[in-house]
């Protein structure tokens, strides 16, 4: 566990700082596991180990089982999002216009596939169904910026510019 994580160790339990105390209202309600995990992910961009223990205390489900649930659903992350969230569109138009190849280029450039985050914590790559700007296909969005009419060269250039911007 990284030291920068918002947790505090007290004895054999881990306490999470800044975690929404209101959540204790779910105490003893196993059914509220999913909303709690979503809340943790919203607050921290991922689900920290400490949150698993904390939520385990609240709902009374053991950590191993919660970990099982997290790894079952693709919506949950166990690592922080990268600084830049790169979402590559896989809608019909983009698909027809070569989004698969673009995905491959990104994978070659960054060394990670969809759903992963680079070692340096810079990029997280996700694939989305349609970004709603089909006229620009193939398209990717990095944080708030849309990049359209992609080709391999363009992708390399864009990624470089983010990398050098730091």
Partner 1 sequence: MVTLTIDGIQVTVPPGTMILEAAAKAGIKIPTLCNSKRLIPFGACRVCVVQQKGRRGLMPACFNPVRNGMEILTNTPDIIKARKIQLQLILISHPLDCPVCDAGGQCELQNLVYEYGVSENSFKGEKANLATDHVSPFIERNLNRCILCGMCVRICDEVVGANEISFLNRGFKMKIGTDFDRPMNCEFCGQCVSVCPVGALNDRMFLHKARPWDMKETQTICGYCGVGCTLTVGTKNGRILRVRGDESRGVNQGTLCVKGRFGWEYVHSPERLTSPLIKKDGSFVKATWEEAIGLVVKRLKEIKSEKGGSAIAGLCSPRLTNEELYSYQKLMRGVLGTNHIDHAGGYSYAAPLALRESLGYAASTNSINEIRKADVIIALRSDLSETHPVIKSEGVLAVKRRKAKLIVVNSRNIYLNKFSAFNLLVKPGSEVALINGMMQAILQEGLAKEEFVSSRTEGIEALKQSLKNYSPEKVEALTGVSRASFVEAARLFAKAVGGVILISTGQASEKKDRDLALAASNLTLLTGQIGKENAGIFILGEKNNSQGALDMGLTPGWLPGYANLGNPSERERFEKSWKLSIPEQEGMGALSILQAAEEGKIAGLYIAGENPLVAYPDSSRTKKALAAVDFLVVQDCFLSETASLAQVVLPAASFVEKDGTFTNADRRVQQVRPGLYPPGQARPDLWIFQQLSKSLGYKLNDPSAKAVMDEIKNLVPLYGGIDYARLDNPLGLQWPCSSADHPGTPFLYEKDFPAGKGKFIPVEFEEGPAETESPWFLITGPTMVHSGSLSLMSPGLTRLQGESYVQVHPEDARKLGLEDNQKVILRSKQGQITVKTLVSWNAAPGLLFVPCHFGQVGGNCLTGRDLTITKVQLEKV
Binding stretches for partner 1 (CB under 8 A): 10-13, 49, 52, 62-68, 71-72, 78
Taking the C-alpha atoms of residue 19 and residue 22, their distance in angstroms, rounded to an integer, is 9
49 or 107: CB nearest partner 1: 49
As a whole number of angstroms, the distance between CA 53 and CA 48 comes to 9
Residue 15 or 83: the one with the smaller Cβ distance to partner 1 is 15
- What is the DSSP-derived secondary structure letter of residue 28? T
Cβ nearer to partner 1, comparing 26 with 67: 67
Q: Residue 11 Cβ, how far from partner 1 at the closest point, in Å?
A: 4
User: What three-state secondary structure class fits 94?
Assistant: helix
Q: Rounded to the nearest whole angstrom, what is the least distance from the CB of residue 146 to partner 1 in the complex?
A: 32
Minimum distance between the CB of residue 112 and partner 1, rounded to whole angstroms?
Answer: 17
How near is the Cβ of 61 to partner 1 at its closest, in Å? 8
Other CB atoms closer than 10 Å to residue 90's CB: what's the count?
20
CB distance 56 to 50 below 8 Å: no
| Gap between the terminal Cα atoms of the chain | 25
Q: How far is the CB of 64 from partner 1 (least distance, A)?
A: 4
* Alpha helices per DSSP H over 5-151: 33-44, 49-59, 63-72, 92-96, 99-110
Q: Pick the closer one to partner 1 by CB: 9 or 100.
A: 9
Quick one: 9 or 149, whose CB is closer to partner 1? 9
């Amino acid at each position: 566990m990284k030291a920068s994580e918002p947790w505090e160790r007290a004895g054999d339990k881990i306490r999470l700082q800044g975690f929404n105390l209101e959540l204790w209202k779910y105490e003893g309600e196993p059914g509220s596991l999913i909303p709690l995990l979503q809340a943790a992910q919203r607050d921290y961009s991922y689900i920290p180990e400490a949150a698993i223990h904390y939520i385990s205390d609240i709902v009374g489900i053991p950590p191993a089982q919660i970990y099982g649930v997290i790894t079952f659903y693709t919506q949950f992350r166990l690592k922080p999002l990268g600084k830049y969230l790169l979402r590559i569109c896989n809608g019909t138009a983009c698909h027809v216009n070569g989004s698969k190849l673009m995905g491959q280029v990104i994978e070659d450039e960054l060394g990670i596939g969809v759903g992963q985050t680079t070692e340096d914590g810079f990029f997280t790559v996700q694939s989305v169904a349609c970004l709603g700007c089909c006229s620009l296909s193939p398209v990717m969005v990095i944080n708030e910026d849309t990049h359209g009419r992609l080709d391999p060269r363009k992708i390399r250039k864009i990624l470089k510019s983010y990398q050098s911007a730091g």
